Structures are given as structure tokens and as C-alpha cells.
Amino acid sequence: MSKGLLIVLSGPSGVGKGTVCTALRSQVPDLVYSVSATTRSPRAGEVDGVNYFFKTREQFLEMIEHDQLLEYAEYVGNYYGTPRDFVEKTLAEGKDIILEIEVQGALKVKEKFPDGIFVFLMPPSLDELKDRIKGRGTESQDTIDHRMSVAVDEINLLQHYDYAVVNDKIELACERIQSIITAEHCKIRK
């Protein structure tokens, strides 16, 4: 049995990680999605263990303390993190698992899981990324400038990744990621 692979899909905010990840999962039903843990309350329709593992603050802090998270971060007063046991259990079953995560989180995962396949989703150009960030809504020029500067800093972290995939078209980006997964399964580990 070929061992399962952890595929970490990351990239700057606005690049389309979520869209590409959703498309990929619909094309590759065998690909398991890494479900995050969070302390925020479930929204209508969200199911525990599917959308998130919903935890109390106490439970989450205990997971941190027992090194049960591959990474975690606090965002607008709530904790979000990647449970280690779900990833390890999936890989042990010989299944591939994909984790969609922002750049800083991916680098933390790499510290604990250097054997993961780290894929950086790239905008076709910085202009294109700016358009996508602008296109999201009615954000102020300051916010847009700030998010662009963060994105440029993140793109400079590219060399910590294994692969760069340009998200010019969702289907093409998905095909490239599927190729990377196929190739990694053929790779001779030394």
C-alpha cells in the first residue's frame, strides 16, 4: 500500500486557495480534507467533524498544551488550529489528506511535518491579485494596500515550499495539483 500524503495548500490571501481546494475535492473524492478545530460557535448548518471540530476554549488550550495541534492561531477572539491526530490517522490508513491554510500556518505545519508536500498557490501576477483583493467588496485603500504588502511578504516565503502552482484558471491549477500528487506517489524516497 502506498503511504498517504499530507498535501498543504497555501498561498497569499485572495489567491483562491478555498476555491481551488473545493474544486480539487470534488474531482478527487478520495482526497480527505483536514478539518480544523475552532473555539468559535457553529453557524447554521455547520456540522461538528465536517466543517470544524467545535471546541470550548478550555478544550482548545488543552490541545495546545498536549501538542495535539500541528499549528494554531487566534483570529478575532477565536482559536483555529489543525488537529494532529486526524491527519496522522488518515495518513496511517494510506489516504491522502489536504490541508488548506494561510502561509504562516503552513510554515508551522512544516516544522512538525517536514514530509508534507507544500504547495504554494500563486497569483498569475501581482496586478491580478490586487484586482481579486479589491473585488471582494468595499475595502478602503489602506486595507487593500496593507493586504497587498502582506501578500508580497508571503510570496517571498515561496522558497520554503516544494511546489509553486499558478492559479491562472481553477481547472488548470487543479490539474497541476493532481499531477503533483500523482508524481509524489511515484517518487522514490531515499
Binding site listing for ATP: 11-18
Find the angle CA(142)-CA(158)-CA(130) to the nearest 5 degrees.
30
Q: Of 34-42, 61-69, 103-111, 180-188, which part binds a second copy (CB under 8 A)?
A: 180-188
Name the residue among 9, 19, 11, 8 with its Cα closest to residue 152.
Answer: 11
Q: Is 15 in the site for a second copy (CB under 8 A)?
A: no
The CA-atom distances, in angstroms, between 93 and each of 2, 3, 32, 90 are 10, 8, 11, 5
CA 36 to chain centre: 10
Q: Which residues contact 102 (CB under 8 A, 6 or more apart)?
A: 10, 13
- Give, as ranges, the residues between 63 and 122 that touch a second copy (CB under 8 A): 119-120
Annotated binding site: 11-18
Q: Which residues, at least 6 apart from 101, have a Cβ–Cβ distance to it below 8 Å?
A: 8, 9, 10, 71, 82, 109
43 interacts with a second copy by CB under 8 A: no
Residue 17 makes contact with a second copy by CB under 8 A: no
Among 4, 20, 163, 174, binds a second copy (CB under 8 A): 163
- Touching a second copy, residues 116-135 (CB under 8 A): 119-120
- Gap between the Cα atoms of 138 and 123, Å rounded: 21
Q: Which of 39, 165, 167, 174 binds a second copy (CB under 8 A)?
A: 165
- Residue 168 binds to a second copy (criterion: CB under 8 A): no
Among 88, 139, 162, 168, binds a second copy (CB under 8 A): 162
Q: Does 190 bind a second copy (CB under 8 A)?
A: yes
- Least Cβ distance, residue 165 to a second copy (angstroms): 5
